[in-house]
Amino acid sequence: MNNSSPKRKILFLVTEDWYFWSHRLPLAKAAVANGYEVVLATRVTDHGKRITDQGIRLIPLGLRRRSKNPFCELSSILELIRIYRAERPDLVHHVALKPVLYGSIAARICGIRSVVNAIAGLGYVFVATGVKGMFLRSVMTGLYKLAFSHGNCMGVFQNPEDRKVFIDRGIIRPEQSILIRGAGVNTKLFSPSPEADGVLKIILASRMLWDKGVGELVEAARILKRRSVAGSVILVGQPDPDNPASIPEKTLARWNSEGVVSWLGFRDDVAELLNQSHIAVLPSSYGEGVPKGLLEAAAAGLPLVATDIPGCREVVRPDVNGFLVPPRDPEGLARALVKLVEDAEMRHEMGRQSRKIAVNEFSEEQVVKATLSLYENLLQGKRLQVRR
């Protein structure tokens, strides 16, 4: 950006401050360094001071992900309208479901010039089955069409399959979307180390949600234990009370006390834990974008085992840097883990390939560069305008 140009304002709308800290902070810091004024509207819990210390102005929100109360949801939209009218940002960057839907309504009403709607995975709705699933998809398709009807709006998708769903359902036009594969990974912080001695450690670093396949991994751990396979399963992360799929702490504590897995809870030394581990796993059935936990494990040079779903397929290349298994299949998961536990040469080669993929395709620098370029193009009107 030309330093002599007027300072322009970007407003990020994210539901949780911890998510912004873990997934969007490098982008926001780069925007500040490039001369933008950066504002974050989010629900503030534990990360407020750390965020403001990075030169980012913080606006606390009452928006809650889990709320379904119509009056609360209307209140959230009105709150956003007040904020957008007061701030008058040049560009708003909405991340995930409610910010995209509610933020787009507020941006339209307030005449915000440029909108970025980031789809961080399709979640439950677009994979749900049955009559309820069909109904929810129909409703969400209509709401997303409204969100993307802004005349200068771009959708950012983390994997090509999610993008195709939106195009095929008529939510967006191809030229209204861009593929930026995930939030990126810090390849300096997450880097390989010599394989640790001792019992092989299989690590899952994620929110403790049923949809992330934690239950299936626990069942796979039981299978490994029954077959006397020398592998220890470690869970890193905490429950997410605002998510209906959150696993109760008492369940995690019970598994830990049984000795079937080790649950470490929240940790801020994930890079070190990955260096002490041998295999990374994510048996998710959730509509992932590109899972950051897999990117970090790949950058740390670990072989990967994940489910054969969009998002996971972006990072895991079968028989190259890991294995893809069917969702909700503890037996298939156990078989893949056994292969890696028992074959050190395969483990090491797949780990080397993981590192190469992370550096070449998913580095933080690549994601930041692509997103800042998108901002400039939108602000300068350098793309085909979408019909209102």
With a cut of 70, list the residues of the chain below it in pLDDT: 1-6, 64-68, 124-129, 382-388
Domains 9-184+364-379 and 200-361 share a fold: yes
169 CB burial (10 A radius; 0-12, 13-18, 19+): middle
Q: Three-class SS of residue 334?
A: helix
Residue showing tokens 């959150």 = 246
Q: What is the pLDDT of residue 121?
A: 84
Q: Do residues 13 and 42 lie in contact, with contact meaning Cβ atoms separated by under 8 Å?
A: yes
- Beta pairing partners, 57: 39
Domain 9-184+364-379: CATH superfamily is: Glycogen Phosphorylase B; (3.40.50.2000)
Domain 200-361: CATH superfamily is: Glycogen Phosphorylase B; (3.40.50.2000)
Q: What is the pLDDT of residue 384?
A: 43
Write down the domain spans for the chain. Answer: 9-184+364-379, 200-361
Residue showing tokens 């994979």 = 127
